[in-house]
Amino acid sequence: MTIHSTSEASEAYIALGANLGDREGSLKAALKRLNQHEQIEVTRCSHVYETEPVGYLDQPQFLNMAAALRTTLAPEALLQEMLSIESQLGRVRDVRYGPRTVDLDLLWMENQHFDTPELTLPHPRMQERAFVLVPLSDVVPHNEESSGLRQFITAALQDIDGREGIRLWTTNVWDGGSELSES
Ligand SMILES: Nc1ncnc2c1ncn2[C@@H]1O[C@H](COP(=O)(O)OP(=O)(O)OP(=O)(O)O)[C@@H](O)[C@H]1O
Ligand SMILES: Nc1nc2c(c(=O)[nH]1)N=C(CO)CN2
């Protein structure tokens, strides 16, 4: 039996990326839809960065960002909601690592470890991706509860040696959900 909800809210971190169409509009729309779910609250957002494509190089530059959520959804149910929002916003899956209107990855969730094809947690490729680590570093606090994740990010950023191919695009894409348009 799959558990869809928990009585206590957990912290989760997600990565967002877009490199087709109105990239900033797609990121905003995804955040707005997540926040509209009654069991999800978007609590903090990173800056938005423009990044060189990694993996599959012959594609447009991405906008990437990260967000912190509080949710009473179980991890599988949160991922299902994220995949559903990707489809609603026009994501088509064809080329692996290829272009997409919006990509939502579940990076880390409080006290949760999974290792199935449908869900691996923490995300198995996050430590090798500056386009994930740099924005994630904006939203993970420097307090004791998050210290494991903070140390993980610091060590991973040292290993991959930096921020090459990553430029600040904008600092305020999210205003808490009140006035966001999906233009
Ligand atoms: N932590 C996770 N976050 C998002 N998807 C995951 C995760 N773990 C496993 N998956 C599975 O990965 C599948 C493919 O995801 P997706 O198409 O976004 O991959 P990708 O963005 O091309 O590559 P990558 O997974 O390296 O970012 C999803 O259908 C999902 O079930
Ligand atoms: N810069 C950048 N490159 C990528 C990205 C992404 O979000 N940003 N996503 C990919 C598939 O997960 C593959 N390559």
ipTM score here?
0.96
How many contiguous H segments (helices) and E segments (strands) does the chain have? 4, 8
Our answer on whether the CB atom of 75 is closer than 6 Å to any ligand 2 atom is: no
Q: Which residues form the catalytic set? A: 91, 100, 103, 105
CA distances to 43, 94, 111 from 100, in Å? 25, 9, 30
Q: How many angstroms does the Cα of residue 105 sit away from the middle of ligand 1? A: 6
Nearest alpha carbon to residue 63 among 168, 141, 174 = 168
- The CATH number of 5-161 is 3.30.70.560
The predicted structure's pLDDT at residue 130: 96
Percent of the chain predicted with pLDDT > 70: 91
- Domain assignments of the chain as residue spans, ordered by start: 5-161
Q: What is the DSSP string of 65-109?
A: EEEEEEEEE-HHHHHHHHHHHHHHTT----STT---S-EEEEEEE
With 60 as the cut, is the pLDDT of residue 183 above it? no
Q: What is the 3-state secondary structure (H, E, C) of 10-21?
A: EEEEEEEEECCC
The 10s digit of each residue's pLDDT in 64-111 is: 999 999 999 999 999 999 999 999 998 777 677 767 899 999 999 999
The predicted structure's pLDDT at residue 46: 97
Structural tokens at position 7: 């009585």
The predicted structure's pLDDT at residue 30: 97
- b/e code 64-101 from CB counts within 10 Å (16+ = b): bbbbbbbbbbbbbbbbbbbeebbeebebeeeeeeebbb
| Ligand 2, pocket-test mutation among 50, 62, 101, most atoms within 8 A of CB | 62
The top-scoring range by mean pLDDT among 55-59, 93-97, 135-139 is: 135-139
User: Which residues lie below 8 Å from residue 134, measured CB to CB, with a gap of 6+?
Assistant: 49, 64, 157, 163, 166
What does the pLDDT average to over 42-59? 94
With 60 as the cut, is the pLDDT of residue 141 above it? yes
Residue nearest to atom 10 of ligand 2 (CA): 97
The predicted structure's pLDDT at residue 164: 83
As a whole number of angstroms, the distance between CA 26 and CA 4 comes to: 27
With 80 as the cut, is the pLDDT of residue 175 above it? no
What confidence tier does 180 reach under pLDDT thresholds 50, 70, 90? Answer: very low
pTM: 0.92
What does the pLDDT average to over 50-62? 93
